[in-house]
Chains A and B, each alone.
Chain A
Amino acid sequence: MSNDPIHQFQISKLVPIEIGGLDLSFTNSSLFMVATVAAAAGFLFLTTSNRGMIPSRLQSVSEISYEFVASMLRDGAGSQGMRFFPMVFSLFMFVLVANLLGMFPYFFTVTSHLIVTFALAMLVIGTVVVYGFWKHGLHFLNLFVPSGVPGALMPLVVLIEVISFLSRPISLSVRLFANMLAGHITLKVFAGFVVSLGSMGALGIGGAILPLAMTVALTALEFLVAFLQAYVFAVLTCMYLNDALHPGH
């Protein structure tokens, strides 16, 4: 059972809640969402409480993450995009901290569940659509009509653009979900090899060195992936927001 690589994604109820037939229990997933928010907000809040003119090390970390996301958003969506800064910064920090918390053994990885990443992706796409129509009205649909395309090709191009727009929330959510899921399964499988080979006597213990080294290397890789996927999620969010701000190609 402990060797089952899927077990780590199991959701277990901590406080069963059921309203109107809907299961809204407080689960281990909910607990780690709370932990993620508490860790991210707590870190950002406490490290900046001194408001030091010369930042301490931890305050620097908060400031660097702020400026990292701010420059990402400014590059991706222009200075007008800064109105979405709290959202992009929240998304980046939430995904990053959730991914990193998931690296602790026995911890639950919030972002390894498709529904969570899909909800976050829909938040982004929903913001793009709502803001796009609110700001530009029907001109927002120019997004699907690139300029300089010959008339005959137009229907085809528009079709492709629409499909690409519709696939955005899917690709955005599946990318993050699949990366976290696959990484954790791989880690668990290789770590499982260490245990099962180690129980096979002297030869097995010698042979277990290989998957052990692999596990160590994969752990490092997973830390990279944890950061990289948060970064990719935030960058793509910036690009999609850019479409809402400037729908003409």
Chain B
Amino acid sequence: MFVVTPAYAQSNPTEGTHSETGAHGAEPHGGGMFPPFDSSTFASQILWLAITFGLFYLLMSKVIVPRIGGILEHRRDRIAQDLDEANRLKEEGDEAIAAYEQELADARKKASAIAEAAREKAKTAAEAERVKTEAELAEKMAEAEKSIAAIKQKALADVDSIAEETATEVVKQLLGGSVTKAEVADAIRAASGK
């Protein structure tokens, strides 16, 4: 049915009985078969496939698959663990930043409170100083006013006597006569409208 190969004819003598039946062409066994359809090799192929593949499967399921699976799982765990660690560290960092910010805000508040207190204190002191100074000034002013009033009063009191003297003198010089002090005083009083 397929190409009959001289190669197979050569290898046939080792097969003994098979080659003889094959040579007669009636049997599908042996002979010049297309190799993949030569059923005389099937038993051997199935047996050796079973042995080799069975061993391979055993090796795979008992050693290789658990090993590679273990490597991959170990790596996956390790990566997950590292990610967790990174997350934890990040959270810690965030907390530290928050604490720092909080402390900074507190310090700022405290500083401003201290400044406020100092300002308040200085203001109070200045105010007190001012009040004191003002009081002193007012006192001095009052004293000054008092002395001015006294001087004024004194001066005003002297005005009449000066006027009398002046008038007496003026009259004496102009009229050559003399007037009494009482007369002059009356005149002045009349002149000044008192």
Residues of A at the B interface (CB closer than 8 Å) are 1, 4, 6-7, 9-13, 16-17, 22-27, 29-30, 33-34, 36-37, 40-41, 44-45, 48, 51-53, 55, 59, 62-63, 66-67, 85-87, 89-90, 93-94, 110, 112-116, 119-120, 123, 177, 181
Contact = CB atoms under 8 A, between A and B. Distances in A.
Given A4-B6, A63-B72, A86-B60, 9 more contacts: A1-B6, A10-B5, A27-B45, A30-B48, A33-B48, A51-B70, A114-B37, A115-B45, A120-B53
Interface string B11-23: 1001100100000
Contacts, number: 144
A187 B47 CA distance: 30
A63 B60 contact: no
A10 B8 contact: yes
Contacts of A86: 57, 60-61, 65
B43 interface: yes
A123 B46 CA distance: 12
Interface of B: 2-3, 5-8, 11, 14-15, 18, 34-38, 40-50, 52-53, 55-57, 59-61, 63-65, 67-72, 74-75, 78
Nearest to A51: B71
9 contacts: A22-B43, A25-B44, A33-B48, A45-B59, A52-B71, A86-B57, A87-B61, A110-B49, A119-B46
Contacts of A59: 71
7 nearest CB pairs, A to B: A86-B61, A30-B48, A33-B52, A9-B35, A37-B56, A66-B68, A90-B60
Q: B2, B59, B78: which has the most chain A beta carbons within 10 Å?
A: B59
B71 A9 contact: no
Contacts of B65: 66, 85-86, 89
Contacts of B40: 23
B3 A6 contact: yes
Contact of B49 (A66, A89, A114, A116): A116
A48 B61 CA distance: 15
B56 A113 contact: no
Main secondary structure of the interface of B (DSSP, over half): helix
B64 A48 contact: yes
Given A6-B5, A24-B44, A115-B45, A94 B56 contact: yes
Contacts of A123: 53
A6 B45 contact: no
B73 to A, nearest CB: 11
Contact of B56 (A7, A51, A53, A90): A90
A114 B44 CA distance: 13
Q: B8, B47, B49, B72: which has the most chain A beta carbons within 10 Å?
A: B49
Contacts of B64: 41, 44-45, 48
A124 to B, nearest CB: 12
B126 to A, nearest CB: 74
B75 A23 contact: no
Given A12-B11, A85-B65, A48 B71 contact: yes
A94 B53 contact: yes
A94 B43 CA distance: 20
A11 B41 contact: yes
Contacts of A16: 14
A16 B40 CA distance: 13
B44 A30 contact: yes
B175 to A, nearest CB: 143
Contact of B60 (A13, A25, A89): A89
A90 B57 contact: yes
Contacts of B57: 86-87, 90
Contact of A7 (B7, B41, B60, B69): B7
B171 to A, nearest CB: 138
Nearest to A30: B48
Contacts of A63: 68, 71-72
